[in-house]
Amino acid sequence: MSRIRVFGATLLALSLTAFSGAQADTYLTTCATNGVLVSTTGTVTYDGFLPDPADTKNGSDTDTAILPGTIAFASPPPLTLFPATGDPKPDLISAQFSSRFEFGTPTGTTSQDSFEFAAFGSASALGALNTNGFPADAVVTVNSSAEFSVDPVPVGSCPGKIELAALRALAPYETKLSVSVTENPYTLPFVVALQSPGSPAQTVIVNPGTIYKIDLTYKMQVPFGIDPPFSLTIPYTVEAVTPVPAMDTRGTVLLVFMIASSALLFGLRAQARRAGATQG
């Protein structure tokens, strides 16, 4: 029996270093005061010729976390689906999906703000037939998301970045695995990061006054007569960006003066050596 085990999109936010003094709150507590929204939608189906609504089940849920110390947990009821006809032992799709967010310390139980997208269960289509009696594949799809809005603060007040880990290649019978980060998805959507199977790690700079939505899409399709295992793990981090100190005008002038002085000294020494050689 195929084992679905998808743990993905863990997002962590570290304390900002740009604020003066000690920073007691986490990044999203300070810079995303409208809260965090998480959502999950899952579908299981025995997909064959002449499909019937009885061959599919869906589940979805959303939740928000606004006040520090609260947890957002979007978890639709577990989905269980048997084929209309099949092998009575292995043929079954059973799946659970969830999206979770928790503010970090000092109000939460985790050290940093954290997101987690997860799915697990099992699937088999060893002898599965759909409602109309045709061979059917066991299909599981997951769409999870997390979004937050960075407050419209002065530039430099809430520097941050989203670190996307490298995405692994597709396992056998997996047909889709993608992660995207979209700025302002409901007004002027702009995809700032898009990962497909095998994509390298990416960094997304977080800007003030901007909504960010991270989407995870996953699909597995077990063909009729097949029963493979599979698993997925995807970590992510969101953290503060440490500004690089700028060199002031005096430092620039001093550097230029030092370079010019060195060049002049080198030229005078070379001229003295040439004069000495001529006299000799």
**Domain spans of the chain?**
2-240, 246-280
The pLDDT score that the predictor gives to residue 106 is 72
Q: Where would I find the beta strands (DSSP E) of the chain?
A: 2-13, 36-48, 56-65, 71-74, 79-81, 93-102, 113-123, 136-150, 160-164, 174-183, 190-195, 202-206, 210-222, 232-240
Q: Whats the size of the chain, residue-wise? A: 280
pLDDT digit string, tens, across residues 150-181: 998 887 788 887 878 888 888 888 899 999 99
What sign does the CA torsion over 207, 208, 213, 216 have? positive
The pLDDT score that the predictor gives to residue 178 is 93
d(CA 166, CA 233): 11
d(CA 242, CA 19): 10
Inform me whether the pLDDT recorded for 272 exceeds 80: no
Inform me whether the pLDDT recorded for 143 exceeds 60: yes
